[in-house]
Amino acid sequence: MSLLFDVWLVGGLASGLLDEVLAGTDLSGDDFGMYSLLRRYGPVTPTQVHRWTGLRPTSISAHLKRLETRGHAVRSPNPADGRSHLVGLTGAGKEAHDRATELFHEAMHALRARFIPDTLRERLVLQHIDMVLRESAGLDERPYRVAPAEEARPKDHAGVPVLAYPGAPLTAFEEQQVRLYIDFLRSQEPNRASPA
């Protein structure tokens, strides 16, 4: 067994868990990932989706056709080159994503307690594995970056990390909860290119 096999196992477990969590919605776990990508970074070309996900172009094409059939995605000409097209979510697609996101966040809330206080550390390890795999496959960088804690925190005029909050100091657990909520809020804003 190897690290690559470990990643494959974790990917399968995550996909199965997402399918189970989202069983009451119109979306599968794979759908939720695609909708989230299009919601946050779309509209984009199918080629860019490939360069971010590493999925085969035929798989992306079939997936996007399913979204279009549901009325959840729309294609438009790409003004940058005129030959390709952009794919983005429709209003109905965003509504379907919103419904699924509620269940996703409920599940993440239950899982979060099992990772805290090391969620950031684990995400950084996964990001490093992601980077190595992307470089090996010749793919683009991921569309967002998880910053180490010292980079993620705003700094005052002296360069000292601070959390802009006027109340009593937060515990490490509370600060982690605030960061996760910020990630959730950022995930709801289309076309936002800040780190997740």
Residue identified by tokens 């805290």 is 116
pLDDT tens readout for residues 45-82: 999 999 999 999 999 999 999 999 999 999 999 998 88
- Give the model's pLDDT for residue 178: 81
Residue identified by tokens 């990630």 is 183
Q: Report d(CA 65, CA 59) in Å as an integer.
A: 10
Q: What is the overall mean pLDDT for the chain?
A: 86
Q: What is the pTM of this model?
A: 0.73
pLDDT tens readout for residues 128-181: 999 999 999 999 999 999 888 656 556 666 666 555 555 677 777 877 888 788
Quick one: how far is CA 194 from the chain centroid? 12
Rg from Cα positions in the chain: 18
- Give the model's pLDDT for residue 53: 95
Q: Please check the confidence at residue 194 and state whether its pLDDT lies above 60.
A: no
SS3 state of residue 86: strand
Name residues whose C-beta falls within 8 Å of residue 32's C-beta, 6 or more positions apart in sequence: 18, 22, 97, 100, 104
- Give the model's pLDDT for residue 191: 55
Let me know: does 18 contact 104? Beta carbons within 8 Å. Answer: yes
Between 119-137 and 91-115, two packed helices, what is the crossing angle to 10 degrees? 120
Taken in order of first residue, the domains within the chain and their CATH numbers are 3-187 (1.10.10.10)
- Give the model's pLDDT for residue 162: 59
